[in-house]
Structure 1
Amino acid sequence: MAEEEELFDLVIPPGVPRSVIRAIIQKYDVELVERSQPLYYANMSGDVRDLLAFRGKKEVVQEAEKEMRTLVLAFIGEE
């Protein structure tokens, strides 16, 4: 029986443009998944929200995170 490779999730912060999410999915070997995540800030202490995440191999998810940051900064005009 082949050993299953461990997969990692990169939670996508609310507000990330759909164009950025599409670009990451097209460029990297990641799957778009929903993930329930408790939030602990402002008036949402302990509220659970369903957020989107990229799921994939650790190295791929790390590269996708860098790319997502670059694309979001370009989108908001800070690059």
Structure 2
Amino acid sequence: MTDDEPLYDVLIPPGVPQKIIFAVTEKFDVKVVERMEKLKFANMEGDERELLAFRGPLETVQKVEKYMIEQLKAFVEEK
């Protein structure tokens, strides 16, 4: 990452196993950051929660998102 390129976030859904988060940070040049997000479901309408996100350049976070989804699917299938 360079200081002058725009950075983007991919939110990490609550419940993602730590081993997947660690694998992403080892495989890709991204940082794990905290972000406040408003929740929009059922009895939590308007609540704000601090969520984790991967932050990096657009092309990288697009790859991260794809990789994370693949890893989550594999994790669920092995259970």
C-alpha displacement at 1:42, in angstroms?
1.4
Map of 2:15 onto structure 1? 15
Map of 1:62 onto structure 2? 62
Identical residues among aligned pairs (%): 51
| 1-structure distance, mates of 2:51, 2:19 | 17
Map of 1:39 onto structure 2? 39
C-alpha displacement at 1:49, in angstroms?
0.1
| 1-structure distance, mates of 2:13, 2:56 | 17
TM-score relative to the length of structure 1:
0.92
Map of 2:6 onto structure 1? 6
Map of 2:72 onto structure 1? 72
SS at structure 2 position matched to 1:43: helix
SS at structure 2 position matched to 1:6: coil
TM-score relative to the length of structure 2:
0.92
What 5-or-longer segments of structure 2 have no aligned partner? none
Report the number of matched residues. Answer: 76
What 5-or-longer segments of structure 1 have no aligned partner? none
Give the 4+ runs in structure 1 shifted more than 4 A.
none
Matched residue type, 2:49: R
